[in-house]
Amino acid sequence: MGTGGHGRAPWWRGAAIYQVYPLSFADSDGDGLGDLAGITARLDHVAALGVDAVWISPFYRSPMKDFGYDVADHCDVDPRFGTLADFDALVATAHGLGLRVILDMVWSHTSDQHRWFAASRASRTGPFASWYVWADPKPDGTPPTNWQSVFGGPAWTWDARRGQYYFHNFLAAQPDLDLHNPEVVEAVLEVARFWMARGVDGFRLDAINFALHDRKLRDNPPAPDRGQQRSRPFDFQLPRRTMNHPALPALVARVRAVLDEGHAFAVGEAVGADGGRAMRMLTRGRRLHSAYGFDFLHARRLTPALVAGAMAAWPDRPGAGWPSWAFSNHDSVRAVSRFAPAESRDAAARLLLSLLVALRGNIFLYQGEELGLPQAEVPFDQLRDPEAIANWPLTLGRDGARTPMPWRRDAANAGFSTATPWLPPGAGHGALAVDAQEADPGSVLALARRLLALRRGEPALRLGRFVPVEAGDALLVFDRVRGRDRLRCLFNLSPGREVVHRHSAGPALTEVNGAEAGRLPPLAARIERVTP
């Protein structure tokens, strides 16, 4: 595979990447759980979208306390998902379809069932003793610091085997690796080499800005009260000692050097309110190729100012880094449900796809986004997500975004599985199934394919500069410019009112939701070629 047909630009620059959540994508063996063979059987759908790569969330051996993000063996496939032979078949099929394969790498922590942790907790002096973050209690027996877990409660758990506390940013079953330790860094880099040797083309580094902690074990300061409801103790602190450590650039530079050995791409997940700064820290110079944060994933409203501000943080100059963007993923409420009322969600799905393909950077498309799937409502007694259960009813996001992919409108469980799925299918999702939309040239799926083809065929969209034109209350206008080619991108982000404007400058390449030159109905979009 070459550079993607855009001159000297590497394949990943400006790429469109499709995220697969394995448990919910396709079940090949009828046990109600998605698996690798199911993904392989459906890769033709992914390839037909016109994306460049598929990112697969974790399928490694795991007790599944956090559904794969608690890894017990980084170099093996959990039997729920299949075998290494199934993975090799997936890679071969993907490459045959022109798709690159990107894997999730969970390096900030492991499962407490990992052999590394078993050895570490067994002895304070053994070879794995310092592979995790251990600390003595305060004189009164309380935890070493005030640090709080993302999932609720203290980020320290007492372990009687060692007579110490261990640190975990997430669940107590997810102890944090000590990536200040060079031996640990080498161990996780060997994991990357293992998968590169099996043909993997890149990695998404999960929660990478959580990877290093303050070695002096200083407390986090309190967060100011901004009048917003806070559902977790974590929200009452500024995580200055547990995120975005000053040594993180050196760590990711070491990662980049090893990935360059296998010509592999790396994108980092920059979590938190300060994600934009973390994205830039992760990508400047010879660090990660790209990073993405939560500018859009956690936003409750999509506004012109939000989009313009996110783009302004990434100037087109050498060494500034290269961003990635996502509107939906497995950790966030689906964008059409966050950004639009129920009666406008079909139109919102079309607008969001139009905007996503026009952004400067890489773009991530989450499974079902190409169908316009809304967030599913999962009853409390069927929730599986530990965060949602702990914070119900204030945090409902993750299970409702992880329900099964609908493949066939009239099949049981919308064609995902012949057995009862691990999460209930979303109500109404069957009507949006792939086979129902395949037959309709006016469907969201058909539009997604056209828009992704437009992005692939227009270097200005994939690689060009971002030039702001207007960011008003509802109207967002910007140009994408590459050489002499200039495309104007116009969006009405209001679900309730029409916008009349004077920014149209040429013939339309695409018009969505009734857009016309000079007039944008609610949630309409138009991309034009600017004529001299």
DSSP 485-505: EEEEEEEE--SS--EE-S---
Q: Which of 261, 316, 440, 498 is catalytic?
A: 261
**346 tagged catalytic:** no
Give the whole-angstrom CA distance, residue 203 versus residue 182.
21
Q: Which of 206, 331, 385, 479 is catalytic?
A: 206
SS3 assignment, position 476:
strand
Give the whole-angstrom CA distance, residue 242 versus residue 133.
12
DSSP state, 355? Answer: H
Strands 164-167, 134-135: parallel, antiparallel or unpaired by DSSP? antiparallel
DSSP 15-70: -EEEEE-GGGT--SSSSSS--HHHHHHTHHHHHHHT-SEEEE---EE---SSTTSS
Give 151-157's long-range contacts (Cβ < 8 A, gap of 24+): 151/232, 151/386, 151/387, 151/390, 152/232, 152/233, 152/234, 152/387, 152/390, 152/391, 153/233, 154/233, 155/242
CA diameter of the chain: 75
Give the whole-angstrom CA distance, residue 275 versus residue 295.
8
SS3 assignment, position 105:
strand
**470 tagged catalytic:** no
DSSP state, 225? Answer: -
Paired residues of 418 in beta bridges: none
| C-alpha 360, offset from chain centre | 17
Pull the structure tokens for residue 188: 């996780």
Give the whole-angstrom CA distance, residue 19 versus residue 206.
13
Give the whole-angstrom CA distance, residue 155 versus residue 160.
16
DSSP state, 464? Answer: P
Pull the structure tokens for residue 36: 């690798």
Active-site positions read 206, 261
